[in-house]
Amino acid sequence: MKLRVYLTFHEDTVRQPIIWKLGKEFDVVTNIRTAEVKDHMGLVGLELDGDDEVIEAAVAWLKAQGVHVDPIEQNIIEG
């Protein structure tokens, strides 16, 4: 499946080549659609294409690296 997400990087993750590592660790096609990187944080709109289980595992791995993963709608649950 194709999954579209926003990744938020914080001070301690913003300088790491995390998307490159993701492509090495998992059999997914990564396609960056938008990115804004400052020294204290970064925001990347990323499309992931691959098998469902691989995508699930890739998202779990991203979270374990300390990256905040949201759907492109960001917060769907409203008050």
Ligand X SMILES: Cc1ncc(COP(=O)(O)O)c(C=O)c1O
75 binds another protein (CB under 8 A): yes
- In SS3 terms, 36-63 reads as EECCCCEEEEEEEECCHHHHHHHHHHHH
Which of the listed partners (another protein, ligand X, none) does 16 bind, with a CB threshold of 5 to 8 Å by partner kind?
none
Closest to ligand X by CB, 64 vs 76, is 76
74 binds ligand X (CB under 6 A): no
Whether 22 and 51 have beta carbons less than 8 Å apart is answered as no
12 binds another protein (CB under 8 A): no
Neighbours of 37 (CB within 10 A): 12
Amino acid occupying residue 41: M
Can you give the binding site for ligand X, defined by CB under 6 A?
78-79
Can you give the binding site for another protein, defined by CB under 8 A?
4, 6, 8, 10, 33-34, 36, 38, 41, 43, 45, 68-79
